[in-house]
Structure 1
Amino acid sequence: MSSTGADLTGPTTGSIPRRRRRVPFWDNARYLCIVLVVLGHAIQRLTYDSDIAFALYLALYAFHMPAFAIISGYFSKSGSPTKTQMARVITDIILPYVIFETLWTLTKWAVEGEASPNFTKPSWTLWFLLALGIFRLILPYLALLRWPLLWTVLISIGSGYLPNVNSTFSLSRTLGLLPFFALGWWLHEHDIVDRLRLLDFRPWWIRAAAVAVLAATGWAAWNWLPLWQAIDLRHWLFYEDAYSDLGGDQWWAGGIRIALMLLAVVLCAAFFLLIPRGSYWWTSFGQYTMYVYLLHSFVLYPFRETGVLRDLEPTWLWLPLVTALSVLVALLLATRPVRWVFRPLIEPRPGWLFADPELTRREGRRNDPTGSRRPRPTS
């Protein structure tokens, strides 16, 4: 997609529509984020036998989902939802969740010979779909508060002290990552990106600093790996378990989450600074991240369950190979043929479900929960 081609008509002034165009940066950011998601899941089995893979895994999980949450928040609206927007919560989140949770139940039954359907416990990657739904539902209420970012940070920290806030409806991860979603919304609400020209002003020394930050994180993950393994840092980065379940019984355990959130913000900033600003052949794939997100786990499932990624030596050969294959999977799952086949599952539009069937036709272009089809107006 051309970086200058208008693909959606924006709000109108009188009878003359104001045209909006896509900003390639955001599509590039979405696509690179989803590549990191696929890579993180792909190398998970390598971490059992490779310290380098484990260090890379920790470095990725320190920021890749917070980055996705920030992008999703940036494209979210905090105003009172219209009927069409309310319908989108059903068509873009609830229905795909039910469809794919059912598919996972059937897959586990076919492969493992048993299945215990439980729609309150999302399978593997589906937790983020529920998180996006909850984010969107509570954002209008957060926007009413003074200091909404502070409240989300307090909610995230406080939820870790409550063992009963668990993976049911992915509530623990949702509350844990809420500050990043709110941060993305806050950046757009206060026009920070445009006012500070963050997509334009990028001197070489800032990019060099971003590279240094990411490199230092990788070095720290590798050099102090025994320490991270001893404190089970991997599960701290999931924002899923209560502090007490992670050995953090002390009153100050919430301070660890604060440190991890600050680290994630710094790493996200470094990551965003390095994202290309131009339009490339792969830029348009950033509009279809939900396809990659929901489908890649089925591609990786056989490798995850058969153990073929265990005991692979040498690491210097297999880790780059798995990385390249992760990029390829992310590319293939965003292509037109795949979208054509799986669109009824990922972007269902069941007019029969609504009292007003026109609700599913008023949306114009199809959307997804991250707002990836919603261009921002340029300054």
Structure 2
Amino acid sequence: MSSAQEPAPPTTTGSIPRARRRVPFWDNARFACIVLVVLGHGIQRLIYDSDISYAFYLSFYAFHMPAFAIISGYFSKASPPTKKQMVRVLTDILLPYLIFELLWSVTKWLVEGQGSPNITQPSWTLWFLLALGIFRLVLPYLALLRWPLLWAMAISVGVGYIANVDSTFSLSRTLGLLFFFTLGWWLREHDIVRRFQLIDYRPWWLRVTALAVLAFWAFACWFWLDVWKTIDLRHWFFYEDSYADLGGEQWWAGGFRIVLMGLALLLSAAFFVLLPRRNTWWTHLGQYTMYVYLLHSFVLYPFRESGVLRSLDPTWLWLPVITVVSVAIAFLLSSKPVRTVFRPLVEPRPAWLFREPELITAEGHRNDPTGSRRS
């Protein structure tokens, strides 16, 4: 797990290598993605009663988690892990997962009167933590093979045919998104972003094209909404259920997933093109996406479960309101006061747990599982 810093460009023989530099684009992209995560969970209850909300939901649910997986893969390594990296998997992924699963069990017991801990079935958003752990476990083996992208694609498509691969340890969803994570690693491994200036080169016509792509997809979500409801497109975007469970018993059902994966890549690329490349006043918040990711579900939980988000009318008022509130939640949960209070839960550092405690105390920063560096 590396930081969200780009390696310095190669230098001529005999010159002094330049230090790594932090690239604002990646922090901007990471924070924009986590805002979409909060927004999707915030408006989810509206989609049952509002077609506009449903279309809006589909417009970014088609790509926001694939985009997040691409970013995570870009800052991952396929080399054998060092001791320090192995410790970080435990402290940045496994321990927060166990802590927040326990918190969810307590919350459900207090609110619903039932809360049986089951670490094999991730609660709500915690599936992505397990996914990150499994991604890192699988990547070194994929990297040993020829054509790792092709193998990752075969796994992502093929898993949908296996009905008994389900949400246990979020395996179905993880394998369904494996291609996007592997693609992110492949882009970094082959230095594609720097060689083709994918961050720096952004002429006006490319931005117009990207905007047109996103706008056309938003229009398609609205214009053909009845079709998307009929085929239950929303659940196809989860990459979680088998094709049979989604009504795709035909042998060619995997082809539909390939089409959706292509759509996710196109929309992700358009999304990335439109993001700012320079430092903004919110760029630094991209380093703290795990706070937003792990905490926002507790903020939204009472509103979702109480039913207050159902039957809100008029939509033209409530959809913008909830959108603004969702964005505000993302900013709030990544703020310094929140990070200070919840750091022991989100960033546990139990030196007493390890035989070599200096592995987690020697450096002034650790890596966010999504790839960002936390100071």
Q: If the length of structure 1 is used for normalisation, what is the TM-score?
A: 0.94
Note if contact 1:33-1:68 (Cα within 8 Å) is conserved in structure 2: yes
Equivalent pair of 2:366/2:374 in contact (CA under 8 Å): no
Q: Equivalent residue for 1:229?
A: 229
How does 1:226-305 map onto structure 2 within 5 Å?
A: 226-305=226-305
Q: Aligned to 1:198, what secondary structure does the other structure show?
A: coil
Code of the residue aligned with 1:218 in structure 2: it is A
Match runs of 1:113-262 below 5 Å: 113-262=113-262
The whole-number CA distance in structure 2 between the counterparts of 1:137 and 1:355 is: 22
What is the CA distance between 1:19 and its match in structure 2? 2.3
CA contact (8 A) 2:288 2:374 kept: no
CA contact (8 A) 2:75 2:371 kept: yes
Matched, 1:50 2:46: no
Cα distance in 2 for partners of 1:141, 1:362 equals: 29
Question: Counterpart amino acid of 1:132?
Answer: L
Distance 2:24 2:374 in 1: 12
How far off its partner does 1:61 sit? 1.1
Contact 1:84/1:363 (8 A) holds in 2 = no
Q: Residue 30 of structure 1: CA displacement? A: 0.5
Alignment RMSD (CA, Å) = 1.9
Give secondary structure in 2 for the equivalent of 1:369.
coil
CA distance in 1 between counterparts of 2:321 and 2:142 reads 44
- Alpha-carbon separation, structure 1, partners of 2:366 and 2:157: 36
CA–CA separation in structure 1 for the residues paired with 2:255 and 2:96: 36
- Note the residue ranges of structure 2 that are not aligned, 5 or more in a row: none
In the alignment, which residue of structure 2 is the partner of 1:346?
346
Partner of 1:367: 367
Alignment partner, residue 318 of structure 1:
318
Look up the equivalent residue of 1:254 and give its one-letter code.
Answer: G
Deviation of 1:290 (Å) = 0.4
Structure 2 counterpart of 1:3: none
Q: Give the partner amino acid of 2:106.
A: L
The count of corresponding residues between Structure 1 and Structure 2 is: 366
Q: 1:81 to 1:374 in 2, by over 3 A?
A: farther
Distance 1:208 1:25 in 2: 19
Question: C-alpha displacement at 1:18, in angstroms?
Answer: 4.7
Structure 2 CA distance for aligned equivalents of residues 179 and 323 of structure 1: 30
Specify every segment of 5 or more residues in structure 1 that has no aligned partner in the other structure, as ranges: 1-5
- Residue 72 of structure 2 contacts residue 371 of structure 2 at CA under 8 Å; is this kept in 1? yes
Equivalent residues of 2:70, 2:185 under 8 A apart: yes
Q: Distance in 2 between matches of 1:81 and 1:172?
A: 25
Change (3 A) 1:357 1:331: same
8 Å Cα contact 2:27/2:284 also seen in 1: yes
**Matches of 1:174 and 1:370, distance apart in 2:** 14
Map Cα deviations across residues 313-360 of structure 1 (whole Å, 9 max, x no partner): 111111111111111000000000100011100111111111111111
CA distance in 2, matches of 1:99, 1:121: 14
Question: In the alignment, which residue of structure 2 is the partner of 1:27?
Answer: 27
CA deviation after TM superposition for structure 1 residue 250, in Å: 0.5
Q: Distance in 1 between matches of 2:366 and 2:84?
A: 12
For 2:205, give the aligned amino acid: W
CA drift of 1:368 comes to: 1.2
Q: CA deviation at 1:58?
A: 1.1
CA distance in structure 2 between the aligned counterparts of 1:374 and 1:180, rounded to whole angstroms? 24
Instruction: Measure the CA separation in 2 of the matches of 1:361 and 1:284.
Output: 23
- The Cα shift of 1:17 comes to 8.1
Q: Which moved more, 1:169-178 or 1:303-312?
A: 303-312
Q: Does structure 1 retain, via aligned residues, the 8 Å contact 2:158–2:254? A: yes
Equivalents in 1 of 2:152, 2:168: separation in Å?
Answer: 20
